[in-house]
Homo-oligomer: A and B are copies of this chain.
């Protein structure tokens, strides 16, 4: 198998709110909420979702936490928390600051103001309205790992 990830699905509590947030915070655009014709039943979760296709073909999908839990066969309480972060590499130090401010203005929370790390990055974290973590990263001395 080729080593690839095609989609990242974030479980959210309010699809419309998250759609607005990602548009305002990261400038992401999408055709809006799709799949509303698939209503949850005994066996299936609902199909409503919003999808952003990113520049490298990766799909970032927003999906209700309840539907994600039902789709995965887990209690909804288990589809919570934030065991991961999504990283965006930017070209300048100022981009880190600017994007964190933009995320805050869009309704996110700056959970860690930017600072330099010993391994040569300047980075900060914001959380989206559901607590999903995003890290903005600027490499101080070199290119990102490849």
Contact = CB atoms under 8 A, between A and B. Distances in A.
Interface of A: 1-11, 26-28, 35, 38, 43-44, 47, 51-61, 65, 68, 71-74, 78-90, 95, 99, 111-112, 115, 117-119, 125, 130-133, 135, 137, 144-146
Given A1-B27, A111-B73, A51 B145 contact: yes
Contacts of A78: 81-82, 131
A58 B79 CA distance: 24
15 contacts: A3-B28, A4-B54, A5-B8, A5-B56, A6-B87, A6-B144, A8-B86, A9-B86, A9-B135, A11-B84, A68-B83, A71-B135, A72-B85, A72-B125, A78-B81
B56 A58 contact: yes
A8 B124 CA distance: 15
A145 B53 contact: yes
A125 B9 contact: no
A134 to B, nearest CB: 9
